[in-house]
Chains A and B, each alone.
Chain A
Amino acid sequence: KNQVEQSPQSLIILEGKNCTLQCNYTVSPFSNLRWYKQDTGRGPVSLTIMTFSENTKSNGRYTATLDADTKQSSLHITASQLSDSASYICVVSARTDKLIFGTGTRLQVFP
């Protein structure tokens, strides 16, 4: 069964600190993996998209990594800001199939 699991479910950090969110998937055959940021009560916004041949991709203070062998991805946030408070969703696409969404990690950044 195609599944995407994220950890932790929720995370609290202080402003300025770094954090790493995890995503494990069992989707096959794998096409691409995406990370989305969703503010409360808003629609998700894409942060990165990676294929199996890409190990790392950055978008400002966000850096995503992908290990296609172990079927794991991580999203690292550097020097967190209050505006980083949101849910972060890992989404995996099987080739020519629909997107499979994880349940998200809720991040809260406090001053």
Chain B
Amino acid sequence: DGGITQSPKYLFRKEGQNVTLSCEQNLNHDAMYWYRQDPGQGLRLIYYSQIVNDFQKGDIAEGYSVSREKKESFPLTVTSAQKNPTAFYLCASSIGWQGNLYTEAFFGQGTRLTVV
């Protein structure tokens, strides 16, 4: 059953704690992405990786970190430096760079992070 899997679906974090969101894909895609979705706003790019062992900052990378040690996995850590971390986080993957013509991005089901 091919696809992209995010876990957990819901996550609660105390202020000052780091937390890691998991993203795994078995689509053999080279590129992976993390987005943040807030009410009334479009998806915003946090980090992206076009190949293993390489990743780049997106538009809102401050307070976040990622790693890409394996092609299948692209975990996102929300650090205590992220001032407003409560949001819906979406992971996506694509066979090539998602801006290219006809390169479709496949999204996971999302993780809703709440800071308590």
Q: Which of A43, A46, A94, A103 contacts B99 (CB 8 A)?
A: A94
Asked if residues A44 and B107 are in contact (CB atoms below 8 Å), the reply is yes
Measured between beta carbons, the chain A residues less than 8 angstroms from B90 are 43-44
In the assembly, what is the distance between CA of A29 and CA of B34, in Å?
24
Measured between beta carbons, the chain A residues less than 8 angstroms from B100 are 31, 93, 96
In the assembly, what is the distance between CA of A4 and CA of B41, in Å?
11
Interface size on A, residues (CB 8 A): 24
B33 to chain A, nearest CB (A): 9
In the assembly, what is the distance between CA of A45 and CA of B106, in Å?
7
In the assembly, what is the distance between CA of A89 and CA of B104, in Å?
14
Asked if residues A98 and B42 are in contact (CB atoms below 8 Å), the reply is no
Measured between beta carbons, the chain B residues less than 8 angstroms from A101 are 42-44
Asked if B109 lies at the interface with its beta carbon under 8 angstroms from chain A, I say yes
The A34-91 residues at the B interface (CB cut-off 8 A) are 41-46, 49, 51, 89
Q: Which of B4, B42, B92, B102 contacts A49 (CB 8 A)?
A: B102
Asked if B68 lies at the interface with its beta carbon under 8 angstroms from chain A, I say no
In the assembly, what is the distance between CA of A83 and CA of B29, in Å?
30
Asked if residues B107 and A89 are in contact (CB atoms below 8 Å), the reply is no
Name which of B43, B98, B105 has the most chain A CB atoms within 10 A of its CB. B43
The B87-116 residues at the A interface (CB cut-off 8 A) are 88, 90, 92, 97-102, 104-110, 112
Asked if B58 lies at the interface with its beta carbon under 8 angstroms from chain A, I say yes
In the assembly, what is the distance between CA of A51 and CA of B41, in Å?
25
**Interface residue ranges, A against B (CB under 8 Å):** 4, 31-32, 41-46, 49, 51, 89, 93-104
**Interface residue ranges, B against A (CB under 8 Å):** 4, 6, 40-45, 48, 58, 88, 90, 92, 97-102, 104-110, 112
